[in-house]
Amino acid sequence: MDRTTGMAQSDWTDALRGSGPSAVTIDLHVEPGSSRPGLAGYDPWRRRLRLKVRAPPRGGEATGEAVELIALLLGVPPARVTVVAGATSRQKTVRVEGLSLEAARGALAPHIGEGGARG
């Protein structure tokens, strides 16, 4: 239980869900216009991983960069990453084919940091 909010503490892995035997969905909060792209922690309120991208939020540029960055972090080709919700929103859900939930957790863990602290 979080002492400041009175809510149950969330783990960063709450943002990931298995989607069949070889696919995973990931809930993201994309922050466009960043000077330092990459995972920026976990937002327990939204239950989403925070992903910073350099691209501006216009014409799908930030979404395209988010897909490429997630693919890079997970070690899969960008063609295996599909935006399934929130294509024009900062709140996105992506589906990654050919990757198990455990493999996704293992690939993202070093980028989140100890305990998935908010960055």
Q: How many domains does the chain have?
A: 1
Number of neighbouring beta carbons within 10 Å of residue 7: 10
Q: 54: domain CATH number?
A: 3.30.1200.10
Output the pLDDT for position 113: 57
CA distances from residue 104 to 3, 33, 45, 72 in whole angstroms, order as listed:
30, 26, 22, 12
Tens of pLDDT, residues 100-119:
999 999 999 998 853 333 33
Q: Which helix (H) or strand (E) holds 97?
A: strand 91-97
Asked whether 110 and 48 are in contact (CB, 8 A), the reply is: no
- Domain membership of residue 4 (yes or no) is no
Output the pLDDT for position 67: 97
Q: Which domain holds residue 33?
A: 12-113
Output the pLDDT for position 112: 82
Asked whether 105 and 29 are in contact (CB, 8 A), the reply is: no
Tens of pLDDT, residues 80-94:
999 999 999 999 999
